[in-house]
Structure 1
Amino acid sequence: MKGTVTEEILNRSIAEPVPLGSYSPSDVIFLLKDLSDVSLERATDEREAAIQSGVHYSEMLPVEYQPTEQYIELFHETLEQSAEKVALAVAVVSEMIVAQRGLDTMLVSLARAGTPIGVLIKRYIQERYGADLPHYSISIIRGKGIDENAILYILQKHGLDADLQFVDGWTGKGAIRQVLIEACNSLYEKYGIRLNDDLAVLADPGNCSGTFGTREDYLIPSACLNSTVSGLMSRTVLRDDLIGPEEFHGAKFYKEWLDTDVSNVFIAAICPYFSSVAEEAQAIAEQMQQSPPEITWQGLRDIQSIQEVFGIDNINLVKPGVGETTRVLLRRVPWKILVDTMDNPNLRHIILLAEDRGVPVEVFPGLTYSCCGIIKPLRGETE
């Protein structure tokens, strides 16, 4: 690396992180600017129209869905039923990370769906291997890239040769995976920094990651809710009038919902299973190491066939997988929901949300995913 570039990175003046979120700082440090006092929320219909007319989704926030009592009950019930299954997936992806990268790795989760998964991976590796891996949560935005200041901050703190393992919750059609690949290429061209663009996820139904816990498209309980299961943090925001050249991307910390926060409840429900699943997870990870899973991007081909059937020009209106479909129902204007079968037990919360919002649900046989959410087409670009 050229000395001048090295000096530029080390001498870049980047704002220090401030305490954010409802997780313990020992679990994660958010490299985000606090925008809690800024009014950024827009009503769902208004936001949808703005996005589809060309306003970038990162310039505003959705009004956070306030779940019904029945829906919260479903979250707790799902968490209880799936805790061991989630723990196994966490253990598998953690064992993969350790086998591939060792114990001198920085966990860098992509806010916000990646954050709870990053916390779980950190906890598992700490319990299993006694290693306390640094864990940061940073912003990545489709169409705008990764938060460069956050990356440079980590390299300033841990050295230019620090090994960063990016973490997210799940894959949909692989858009964020593609953004990450492009971002790592850009950082190399700009600074000579070569980062590993591998994205570790809990679930990879899109078949676009090589480091995952499972490829089953099932309900990860953290996908059920928004900020109240993600450390009370909003989606990330990037707007020139709010974010300076030496600041991190922004987000809001919803302190007012501390009484209903289940972020640490989610973590506490999964961790007790780590010791009982560790041996099975190690065996699965070893098998995956010996026969690396093929990255086929099959999920993306599914989306293209859905586009053809329903005459949808804009691929961004199609949101595949349980996690993405949940997001469509929580904060977008849905047109319809496609499911592989109506009696899929992973879809109870999807059916409940669809009924609540009056959205039709249709069976679409042969899906790689359990379900797919389609946003109502208005016009223009979308999230």
Structure 2
Amino acid sequence: MNMPLKPVFEPLKGSYSLEDCQFLLQPIDIPLLTVEEKERLMQIGGQHYSSMISQEYPPSDQYRTLFFGLVNKYKQRLAAEVAGLAKKIFDKKGGTVTLVSLARAGTPIGVLLSRALKHYYKADVSHYSVSIIRDKGIDKAALEYLEKAGHAAESIVFVDGWTAKGIITQELKAAVADWNSDSDYKISDELCVISDIGGMADLVATVDDYTIPSGILNSTVSGLVSRTILRPEYQGFHQCVVYSHLAEHDLSNWFVDEISALFSSISPDENASAQRDEASTGRHLKMQSYVDQLMLQHGVTDINRVKPGIAEATRVMLRRVPKLLVVKNRASEDVSHLLVLADDKGIEVSQDSAMPFNAVAIVANVNE
């Protein structure tokens, strides 16, 4: 019988400075699968996605050019949205804030919010990035670390990049409720995001489905850290792989520097208008209805194979085996990178001008 490996409870910094982000993850060395191998094992072998990880490769020159173009197009907007979110967090939490971003889509947004809170309010901010995994919950060892480190429970706010179907949001709410039922260190389950197309978050910057630039790259805009892993032979923090071989392609610090450099020309008071309201329920129901319709139309029985929104569709094109990409408008610059990825992979693209967001991808059934 294999004994569990020694627990790790030391923060990891990835390629960020520790002042910007501390990952409450433990780096491990496991076989890196191809995307196709991982998909086959998930669908045929019955292995949970969190037990495996695939190799990552440098983006092509064409894709990097698209990324830089989208940063240039949206950096002013994103900086303003981050500033507005920082104001909402400061108004709610005061001058001591513990940002807990959900690795890894939430990580660069957490870095930006940390910088904004310090810039505008001289706030005492700590930023940690932690693992949350569908069907497995949040990393309780990470929450225990926050408690032992002396961070006030009331100072914690969770951060992600966006919502889509809301599955991770629901996972977070359930995990926090479970944690609070068994702990005196009672934390809020409030979630802060840039884009709330799923109508599920609590503090939001926008409900638009637009291309948040950090959502179109993998580890090279997220501190060189992989999607999180959970394997039974390890104790302590959830795990990850650090893609050190991509260091020369890393844009993590360049990206947050590019956005945060704009804070001095932006007033947070003018950019804190988006609120979670009654319309959130309507947005969520509209998304749910469209996803149900799409599943029926294409004979999809597993909702986890349908990924709505630009960012989630991008994840499918980069990290899964896609079957179909549907876009609202082929001519929109917001989906230009998706069309490049679809062309590279030979994936069918269709257009539906009636969809309630700008893109959706369907993961292939490898059993077909």
TM-score normalised over the length of structure 1: 0.89
Match of 1:282 in 2: 269
Aligned residues: 359
- Contact 1:230–1:263 (8 Å) recurs in 2: yes
- 2:76 partner SS: helix
Mapped pair 1:132 → 2:124: yes
Task: Kindly report the root-mean-square deviation, in angstroms, between the aligned alpha carbons of the 2 structures.
Answer: 1.9
Alpha-carbon distance, 1:302 to partner: 2.3
Match of 1:267 in 2: 256
- 1:351 partner SS: helix
Measure, in 2, the Cα distance between the counterparts of 1:146 and 1:294.
28
Alpha-carbon distance, 1:292 to partner: 4.1
Q: Which runs of 5+ in 2 are unaligned?
A: 1-5
Q: Percent identity?
A: 37
After TM superposition, the structure 1 = structure 2 runs for residues 16-165 of structure 1, keeping only pairs within 5 Å, are: 16-35=9-28, 38-53=29-44, 54-159=46-151, 161-165=153-157
- 1:275 partner SS: helix
- Contact 1:28–1:135 (8 Å) recurs in 2: yes
TM-score normalised over the length of structure 2: 0.93
Alpha-carbon distance, 1:33 to partner: 0.7
Question: Which residue, 179, 199, 209 being the options, matches 1:187?
Answer: 179
Measure, in 1, the Cα distance between the counterparts of 2:257 and 2:271.
24
- Contact 1:235–1:251 (8 Å) recurs in 2: yes
Alpha-carbon distance, 1:301 to partner: 2.8
Aligned AA (1:300): Q
- Contact 1:14–1:153 (8 Å) recurs in 2: no
Aligned AA (1:44): V
Alpha-carbon distance, 1:94 to partner: 1.5
Match of 2:352 in 1: 364
Measure, in 2, the Cα distance between the counterparts of 1:294 and 1:274.
30
- Contact 2:197–2:208 (8 Å) recurs in 1: yes
- Contact 1:20–1:34 (8 Å) recurs in 2: no
Aligned AA (2:242): F
Measure, in 2, the Cα distance between the counterparts of 1:52 and 1:105.
41
Specify whether residues 187 and 19 from structure 1 end up closer, same or farther in structure 2 by C-alpha distance, changes over 3 A only: closer
- Contact 2:116–2:263 (8 Å) recurs in 1: yes
Match of 1:6 in 2: none
Measure, in 1, the Cα distance between the counterparts of 2:14 and 2:265.
30
Measure, in 2, the Cα distance between the counterparts of 1:165 and 1:379.
41
Aligned AA (1:318): V
Aligned AA (1:182): A
CA offset digits 1:202-234 (Å, max 9, x no partner): 111112113111111111111121111100001
Match of 1:229 in 2: 221
Match of 2:237 in 1: 248
Aligned AA (1:376): A
- 2:353 partner SS: coil
Measure, in 1, the Cα distance between the counterparts of 2:251 and 2:117.
22
Alpha-carbon distance, 1:154 to partner: 0.2
CA offset digits 1:54-89 (Å, max 9, x no partner): 210010102214311111111112111211011112
Measure, in 2, the Cα distance between the counterparts of 1:188 and 1:333.
38
Question: Which residue, 178, 191, 196 being the options, matches 1:204?
Answer: 196
- Contact 1:18–1:34 (8 Å) recurs in 2: no
Aligned AA (2:350): E
Measure, in 2, the Cα distance between the counterparts of 1:91 and 1:51.
40
Match of 2:297 in 1: 309
Mapped pair 1:295 → 2:280: yes
Runs of 4+ deviating beyond 4 Å: none
Specify whether residues 359 and 251 from structure 1 end up closer, same or farther in structure 2 by C-alpha distance, changes over 3 A only: same
- Contact 2:206–2:274 (8 Å) recurs in 1: no
